Structure 1
Amino acid sequence: MKAMDERPVQVGSARSARFKKHHAEDLAGRSYTFICVALLIVIIISIIYFVASKGLATFFRDGVSLGDFLFGTTWDPEGNQGEPMYGVLPFIFGSFATSLLAALIASPLSICASLFMTEIVPGWGKKLLQPVIELLAGIPSVVYGFIGLTVVVPFMRNVFPGQGIGIAAGALVLSVMILPTITSVASDALSSLPRGLKESSFALGATRWQTISRVILPTVLPSILTGVVLGMARAFGEALAVQMVIGNAPHIPRSLFESASTLTSVITLDMGNTVMGSTHSNALWSMALALMFMTFIFVLIVRLLERRHRI
């Protein structure tokens, strides 16, 4: 009887010890997660505050007009032609032009690649293309820029009018850089489709291409657009590769084959030639603030597309 009385006590104490251990592990995991999330929020808020405080100083402290800054076409921070001018419209135009053109070039290629891997030949097609896509995603941007400078620019110079550098060359380089992003998002969307959706289309007598064009692509269109927006955000923030092939001319080009410049390339070129706290330096921070604002816009568009996809 004594041994039988001791056994429930031992089992109860063991359960209590395991419960305490699991509770301690759960508490430690929650605490660690909370600390990481809080640190991440603090870092994001600090970056936004720092960039905003520096960027807004151009308008509130240095007296530069916001309208002249956003819509001015003359960038002359040294005042070589009179008083300094800080018009960034040519750089905004260059950023949007290269990003949009790169998305237009990369989107059809990415959609076709994802359809090839998931719908046409999902077996060996994915084994062949997946490593290539991953390789493209892992190449440094300076390598893309160097290849663009030695391959794309001479090709553009021999085929089209101009010196080869310009919006078109920058867009071609960016299209290859953002192709893995769009392809990965589109492939994941196509892979997650219910199998019954395609089988129902086949059962109604539709061919493979009719199923792809009229059933599959309309269904995953919001996800594909999400990938395109993410690719544009990647292209919009790229600096080094674009800087090497776009020509870095501070004016609005009249054709795709003329030299231009982007917000990121100007920041990269001028950041080492300014004094911290000067109007020129603050103007560069204002461009960084504009880039960050556009990133928020891209994220908002992605969230809206995801919500539409869920609905």
Structure 2
Amino acid sequence: MNTIFFLCGMTAILSVVVITLYMVLSGLPAIREIGLADFLFGKVWKSTAKDPQFGILPFILTSLYGTGGAILLGVPVGLLTAVFLSKVAPRRVANVVRPAVELLAGIPSVVYGLIGMIVLVPAVAKTFRLANGTSLFAAILVLAIMILPSIISVSETALNAVPPEYEEASLALGATKIETIFKVSIPAARSGIAAGVVLGVGRAIGEAMAVMMVAGNVANMPELFKSVTFLTTAVSKEMSYASGLQRQALFSIALVLFLFIMVINVILGCILKKKGGDK
């Protein structure tokens, strides 16, 4: 059994190594030909023009702004929902809300995108009097809803793992239940909550289909009510017909996205190690 476990672990590691090498080998040729500065900081993407330009700064900023906006909206709602389920809600209410959260996690991305395209996009256009509701704002709203299950589930688990003695001691010292939750329970569960947030960030950065259906897919510099393109959608919408340098540039975009995910995982590891060191 030790040998089987070792082989399974090595398979996982080998998979990561192979994916990393493939992304690097596929993405570097275009970066060398275009130039790193022109590729990362260029503001114009015209991959099919007679004189093509491959600047992905609009995609990078759009992904950062979209993910940041989704986290700004989703984290407070997700955290407070986790607190409600773990510390406040009666069991009968929690038994109704928790399956609803799990159902959110099981809904396919294309369904989120379809509902966003049919319901949310027209609502945004009507509310803000826009000619077209496909925008960064619509994408942020969809992503904020999509990251809720990850944040709620992991945060609730972390809050449930807080030793009851911590809360009992706080209550015994005269703190109210709400004070105990926000000053004792949440700080004690912060590493687990951080893990949930990072999972949400990973899903927000890596989402393609739902974002493609509500963002407009135009290579503009990001503005809240303007059609934009994310890193993921830039790859998805052109890969089917791309060739030559254009195809290589799409692999380079995927490499940049891959590096973003790696940075997020490193940050999470540092947070968890720091938490372990504090103990």
Q: Do the structures match in fold with TM over 0.5?
A: yes
Moved over 3 A (4+): none
Among 198, 210, 217, the alignment partner of 1:241 is 210
Say whether the 8 Å CA contact 1:274–1:281 is kept in structure 2. Answer: yes
Distance 2:90 2:192 in 1: 20
1:148 pairs with 2:116: yes
Alignment-derived partner of residue 269 in structure 2: 303
Other-structure match for 2:68: 100
**Secondary structure class of the residue paired with 1:39:** helix
Is the CA contact 1:54–1:285 (under 8 Å) kept in the aligned structure 2?
A: yes
Partner of 1:89: 57
Partner of 1:280: 246
Name the SS for the 2:218 alignment partner: coil
Aligned residue for 1:199?
168
- Which residue of 62, 65, 68 corresponds with 2:38? 68
CA RMSD of aligned residues (A): 1.3
Say whether the 8 Å CA contact 1:116–1:125 is kept in structure 2. no
Deviates more, 1:37-46 or 1:138-147: 37-46
Q: Deviations over 1:160-217 (max 9, x none)?
A: 1422111110011111111000011110110000101110111011111111122222
CA distance in 1, matches of 2:98, 2:38: 47
Report the Cα offset of residue 292 of structure 1.
0.7
Aligned to 1:257: 225
Change (3 A) 1:309 1:161: farther
Taking the aligned partners of 1:224 and 1:40, their CA distance within structure 2 comes to: 26
Q: Secondary structure at the match of 2:4?
A: helix
Residue type at the aligned position of 2:269 = R
Shift of 1:122: 5.0
State the alpha-carbon separation in 2 of the partners of residues 54 and 101 from structure 1: 31
Distance 1:85 1:266 in 2: 14
With the length of structure 1 as denominator, give the TM-score of the two structures. 0.86
Which residue, 125, 131, 150 being the options, matches 2:99?
131
Between the aligned partners of 1:187 and 1:32, the Cα distance in structure 2 is 33
SS at match of 2:49: coil
Work out whether 1:169 is the aligned partner of 2:138: yes
2:29 paired residue among 39, 50, 57: 57
What one-letter code is carried by the residue in structure 2 that aligns with 1:168?
F
AA in 2 matched with 1:184 = S
Whether the aligned pair in 2 keeps the contact of 1:223 and 1:305 (CA below 8 Å) is no
Say whether residues 1:113 and 2:81 are aligned partners.
yes
Shift of residue 218, structure 1, vs aligned partner: 2.4
Give the deviation of 1:308 after TM superposition: 2.4
Deviation of the 1:222 alpha carbon: 3.2
Percentage of pairs with the same residue: 37
Which runs of no fewer than 5 residues in structure 2 stay unpaired? none
The residue that corresponds to 2:177 in the other structure is 208
Length-normalised TM-score, structure 2: 0.95
Match of 2:199 in 1: 230
- 1:94: how far off? 1.1
Structure 1 counterpart of 2:27, one-letter code:
G
- In 1, Cα distance between the equivalents of 2:15 and 2:75? 33
Question: Is the alpha carbon distance of 1:307 and 1:125 closer, same or farther for their aligned partners in structure 2, counting shifts above 3 Å?
Answer: farther
How many residues are treated as equivalent by the alignment? 276
Match for residue 48 of structure 2? 78
SS of residue in 1 equivalent to 2:34: coil
Partner of residue 39, structure 1: 11
